[in-house]
A and B are shown apart, each in its own frame.
Chain A
Amino acid sequence: MIGGKEVVVHAHRRLRRGALIWAGVLLALIFSVMAAWPGFRDSETGVLTDDLPTAVTRAFGLSDLGDPAGFLDSNLFSLVLPLLLICVAVAWANGLTAGDEDAGRLEVELSLPVTRAGLMVRRFIVAAGWLVGLGVVVVLGLLVAMPALDLDASLARTMGATAAVVLLAILHGAVYYCAAGLGAPRNQALGIAGGVAGAGYVLRSLLPLSEPLEPVEVVSPWYWLLGDGPVQHGVPIGGAVLALVMVGVLLMVGNWGLTRRDIRPA
């Protein structure tokens, strides 16, 4: 596509400042969470949670708080970090797709010799690249904080957990992309992506509180990628592959819709 490089450079420029701010936010989050580790390590929290049903401790991310891997899963990888990165992914997808369309900025852009799908996929790839960059920042933050606070968890599993969380965020960005491609205005697309994120969390974490409903967790992207705790038990490879396939399918469906509909005027 003519101008493909410019699409990438321009999208990169648009996201750069926000990405640096988010990197700072994530580092602050990591250091503040990790600062609590010595307290948990030396406390009797395990005794408290041992009396709770497994489903409840898992639902609220309370499992094995005195264990390094359990601490990381409970305090970072079960909710806070995925939620933040999903917000970033959806906000970026919004700014680069439906948000831009609703603002009328695609009117001139798409009158130039670029294809709709070529423009949008490149933008999405740039956003996904920045999310991977944020994942690297998370890993670097953990690499500094873990030895400093004597938190001895598997580095490989911690990196795998970070990758899984980044992929979960990209998947939700792709949900937004698909909705926007099919013609949803920004608020609707935000609602759809937010709904998928919320439903996914509920399906994985809260519905299993009831034993008969536990099997439904397999339809949740949170379950595909985070399993029973990515640092404690590792990232489910099958789930990660499924998530990657879903990202591809969502992008294709989004592009299919985008090329067959009218671009909304300002």
Chain B
Amino acid sequence: MSAVPVVSCVGVTKRFESLTAVDRLDLDIPAGIVFGYLGPNGAGKTTTIRMIMGLARPTSGSLALFGVDPASPRNADVRMRVGYLPGELRLDEKLTSGEQLEHWARLRGPTSVDATYRDALVDRLGLALDRPVRTLSTGNRRKVGLVGAFMSRPELLVLDEPTSGLDPLMQQEFLSMVDEVRAEGRTVLLSSHVLSEVERLADRVVVLRAGQMVLDGAVPELQRQALQKLTATFNGAPPVAELEGLAAVTDVTVDGATVTCRITGPVHPVLDVLARHRVEAITAPQREIEDAFLDLYDTSGSPEQPNGADT
């Protein structure tokens, strides 16, 4: 495996007039991992991906794909190593699914696609190759895009909201496909709103907020960042004042004899309080990536961009 990062961003900024879509992003994606790229609409995920694909240029900073500038016409061949599924996939309405895939395969070159592997993908996703693209549902169009991205066995897969519109069975099939890619030592850049999907697949996660990276780490680290929720039901009046008095406790809510709170630090002071009262039941669910994600956004209000554009 090459020591050169598959993707490298150094101080990458992208501005659209007064809007800063991506702000001084430093990022390295090593080979062989599934890289989760998270953030709400307008955070800058799609803009970053489009710069990686050479479809947009950074306003400042430098970006390299397999060590070269992806936007330079001299480096068009580097895209032979990449499979891309855009968030907004638009197909040629005059073609059938099969013709669209053939067209993409020929643009990659005559020997770039293993027809057996492509047909296996088509079977797995249940795609009808003879159906005109214009008659396909959103989910089936997505399947065409997925087969198109995977079929050349690229070293890097760049997938922007890949399961949008897919039914749960196909979502499971997609997870298996990504697992196989990882097992083969290839790299996946996965941008998704489906946090469970990222949690299940990603080796490393970066979270963007308003164009800036707010978190970069492995999924367990992100889970550890999530505040621990705790729900306790008392036989009698709950010790609300005592819990609220603890520095590590936030968001205390009371529903009859049940108290729910979030714990930001060590748990033992909370347990000490609970031990002094008659607790009937305690629930402390496993920390989820979704909680960490929401916590990150709760701290600074809406991260949406001013014009609401999907950047």
Which residues 1-36 of A have a CB within 8 angstroms of B?
1-3, 5-7, 9-10, 14
The CA of A261 and the CA of B89, in the complex, are separated in Å by 21
Interface: B50 (CB within 8 A) = yes
B39, CB-defined interface residue at 8 Å: no
B-contact bits for A89-103, CB 8 A (1 contact / 0 none): 000000000000001
Across the interface, do B76 and A105 meet the contact criterion of CB distance under 8 Å?
Answer: no
Q: How far is B94's CA from A10's CA once the two chains are assembled, in angstroms?
A: 11
Give the distance in Å from the alpha carbon of A6 to the alpha carbon of B57 in the complex: 27
Residues 41-77 of B at the A interface (beta carbon under 8 Å): 46, 50, 53-57, 73, 76-77
Contact assessment for A111 and B53 in the assembled complex, using a CB-CB cutoff below 8 Å: yes
Q: How far is the CA of A113 from the CA of B107 in the complex (A)?
A: 7
CA distance A14 to B77 in the complex (A): 26
A113–B108 touching, CB < 8 Å: yes
CA A3 to CA B76, docked complex, whole Å:
12
Mask for B139-161, Cβ within 8 A of A = 1, else 0? 00000010010000000000000
Hey, which chain A residues are within 8 Å of B78, CB to CB?
Answer: 113
A216 CB contacts on chain B under 8 angstroms: none
Which of A14, A112, A116 is within 8 Å of B104, CB to CB? A112
Smallest CB gap from A103: residue in B: B90
Task: Tell yes or no: A241 within 8 A of B by CB.
Answer: no
- B92-111 residues with Cβ-Cβ distance < 8 A to A are 92, 94, 103-104, 106-109
Q: Are A108 and B88 in contact (CB under 8 A)?
A: no
Q: How far is the CB of B284 from chain A (nearest CB, A)?
A: 44
A110 contacts B by Cβ under 8 Å:
yes
A: contact size bracket: 20 to 34
Compute how far the CA of A107 lies from the CA of B50 in the bound complex, rounded to whole angstroms: 9
Interface bin, chain B: 20 to 34
Asked whether A2 and B107 contact (CB < 8 A) given A115-B73, A262-B55, the answer is: yes
Which candidate, B79-87, B219-227, B239-247, B275-283, is the interface stretch facing chain A?
B79-87
Q: A266 vs B91: C-alpha distance in the bound complex, in angstroms?
A: 11
Q: Are B109 and A263 in contact (CB under 8 A)?
A: no
> In the complex, are the beta carbons of B73 and A117 less than 8 A apart?
yes
Taking the nearest CB of chain B, how far is it from the CB of A23, in angstroms? 19
Smallest Cβ-Cβ distance to B92: which chain A residue: A105
Decide yes or no whether A259 CB sits under 8 A from chain B: yes
Is A263 a contact of B55 with CB atoms below 8 Å?
yes
Other-chain contact of A263, B56, B90, B94, B108 (Cβ < 8 Å):
B56
Q: Cβ of A7 and Cβ of B107 under 8 Å apart? A: yes
Contact B89 A265 (CB under 8 A): no
A25 to B53, alpha carbons, bound, how many Å? 43
Q: Which residue of A lies closest to B50 (CB)?
A: A265
Minimum CB–CB distance from A250 to chain B (whole Å) comes to 19
Across the interface, do A113 and B79 meet the contact criterion of CB distance under 8 Å?
yes
Secondary structure dominating the interface of A: loop
- A108-B108 in contact (CB<8A): no
The complex places the Cα of A210 from the Cα of B294 at a distance, in Å, of 73
Question: Known: A116-B73, A117-B73, A266-B90. Is A111-B103 also a contact (CB below 8 A)?
Answer: no
**A143 near B: Cβ within 8 Å?**
no
Candidates A10, A104, A116, A118; contact of B103 at CB < 8 Å? A10
Complex-state Cα separation, A109 to B90, whole angstroms:
10
Q: Among A5, A10, A107, A259, which residue has its beta carbon within 8 angstroms of that of B86?
A: A107
Q: CB-CB < 8 A to A3: which residues of B?
A: 106-109
Known pairs A14-B94, A104-B90, A266-B88; A113 contacts B53 (CB<8 A): no
A84 at the interface (CB under 8 A from B): no
Closest to A102 in B: B90
Let me know if B103 and A110 touch, CB within 8 A.
no
Shortest CB distance B142–A (Å): 13
**Nearest B residue to A262 by beta-carbon distance?**
B56
What does the 1/0 interface line of B208-236 toward A look like (CB < 8 Å)?
00000000000000000000000000000
Interface centre among B56, B78, B107, by most chain A C-beta atoms within 10 angstroms, is: B107
- CB-defined interface of A223-266 with B at 8 Å, one 1/0 digit per residue? 00000000000000000000000000000000000011111011
In the complex, what's the smallest C-beta–C-beta distance from B216 to chain A, in angstroms?
25
When the two chains form their complex, are residues A108 and B84 in contact, meaning their CB atoms are under 8 A apart? yes
**Alpha-carbon distance A2/B80, docked complex (angstroms):** 9
Which residues of chain B are within 8 angstroms of A107 by Cβ–Cβ distance? 55, 86, 88-90
Chain B: CB-nearest residue to A5: B106
Query: Are B76 and A108 neighbours in the complex by a CB distance under 8 Å?
Result: no
* A80 contacts partner chain B, Cβ-Cβ < 8 Å: no
Q: How far is the CB of A16 from chain B (nearest CB, A)?
A: 11
Question: Which residues of A come within 8 Å of B, CB atoms?
Answer: 1-3, 5-7, 9-10, 14, 103-105, 107-118, 259-263, 265-266
A-B contact pairs, 5 of them (CB 8 A): A3-B109, A105-B90, A105-B91, A114-B76, A262-B57
Q: Which 7 A-B pairs have the closest CB atoms?
A: A104-B90, A3-B107, A6-B106, A266-B88, A111-B84, A262-B56, A113-B80
Beyond A3-B109, A108-B104, A265-B50, list 14 extra A-B contacts (CB 8 Å). Answer: A9-B106, A104-B86, A104-B88, A105-B91, A107-B89, A107-B90, A110-B55, A112-B79, A112-B108, A116-B73, A259-B73, A261-B57, A265-B46, A265-B86
